[in-house]
Structure 1
Amino acid sequence: MTSPLIEQLQTRHGYPLLDADSYDHFVYGAENVVLFFCNDPVQFPESLDVAVILPELVKAFSGRLQAAIIAQPIERELQARFRFTGWPSLVFLRNGEYLGAITGIKDWLEYRQETLRILAATPGEPPGFDLDKVCGAR
């Protein structure tokens, strides 16, 4: 399921929708990328908020980020690779290597600060899953 706001990321802002065939070419063809994992915006309505914030975030980092939307058929596979536990998520890569992720909706200042921190990071492995978050703390 998609929405006009998410479609607008493609039509108005020119962000590609990455599938299994286009993913590698995009992430290894750009220095810094931000991947938007929105899942189903009906089930995860915060995805619509991030769809509004993402172009502003890209603009704020004036040419330092290239954005793309991840197609739903490959989201779960990539979620397991990048080990984030919530939707929506923005995953940042440098030359295809993991830098960090922002999950859920944040305020504007948090997005800017987290993106600055992430872009200053050295690429590495995604963090391990926090089983309390995945399974629910008891």
Structure 2
Amino acid sequence: MTSPLIDRLTTELGWPRLETEAALAEHLATPGTHCLFVPGDPVRNLESNDAAVILPELRMVFQHAFDCAVVGDAIEADLRERSGVLKTPSLIFYREGRCLGGIPKVRDWADYLTRIQTILGLQSA
């Protein structure tokens, strides 16, 4: 299930929608830091739409220090379990194929800035 605000990330902003484990692995194998947006069900969780509006703004504030992709329903549960970021919506950051950390639920702006700055400062193990 998607919403127009979540669909906008892929249609207007051109972010990939990762629907399979193979697509996820391929995306994470590319160089750089990746933010995976796990929206959850936007019908049951109204915060999903809020996060879909916030994430592009965060990416601009961090001067495109990370790319973004939307995680599809089919692989969402496995990704959340593997990363340990269980609640949605969530932003899960990866570099060199390794999970750096995640931010579950919608946060206030200052919390996002602090958390993302910390995550981006981490080196992959």
TM-score when scaled to structure 1?
Answer: 0.86
What is the DSSP-based 3-state SS (H/G/I as helix, E as strand, rest coil) of the residue aligned with 1:34?
strand
CA distance in 2, matches of 1:50, 1:115: 14
- The aligned residue for residue 54 of structure 1 is 55
Q: CA deviation at 1:30?
A: 2.9
Equivalence for 2:6: 6
Q: Deviations over 1:48-71 (max 9, x none)?
A: 000000100111111211000000
- The runs of 5 or more residues in structure 2 that have no matched partner are none
CA RMSD between the two structures: 1.1
Do the aligned partners of 2:96 and 2:124 also contact (CA within 8 Å) in 1?
Answer: no
Match of 1:32 in 2: 33
CA shift for structure 1 position 85: 2.3
Q: Cα distance, 1:96 vs. partner?
A: 1.3
Displaced runs of 4 or more, over 3 A: none
Q: Does 1:65 align with 2:66?
A: yes
Once the two structures are superposed, the pairs formed by residues 1-138 of structure 1 within 5 Å of their partners are 1-20=1-20, 21-124=22-125
- State how far apart, in whole Å, the 2-side matches of 1:80 and 1:46 are: 20
Give the Cα separation in 2 of the matches to 1:55 and 1:22: 21
How many angstroms does 1:123 deviate by?
Answer: 2.7
Q: Note if contact 1:30-1:66 (Cα within 8 Å) is conserved in structure 2.
A: no
Aligned to 1:129: none
- Figure out how many residues of one structure are paired with residues of the other and give that number: 124
Q: 2: distance between equivalents of 1:108 and 1:30? A: 27
Contact 1:37 1:88 in 2 (8 A): yes
Cα deviation digits, residues 30-59 of structure 1 (max 9, x gap): 310000011110111101000000100111
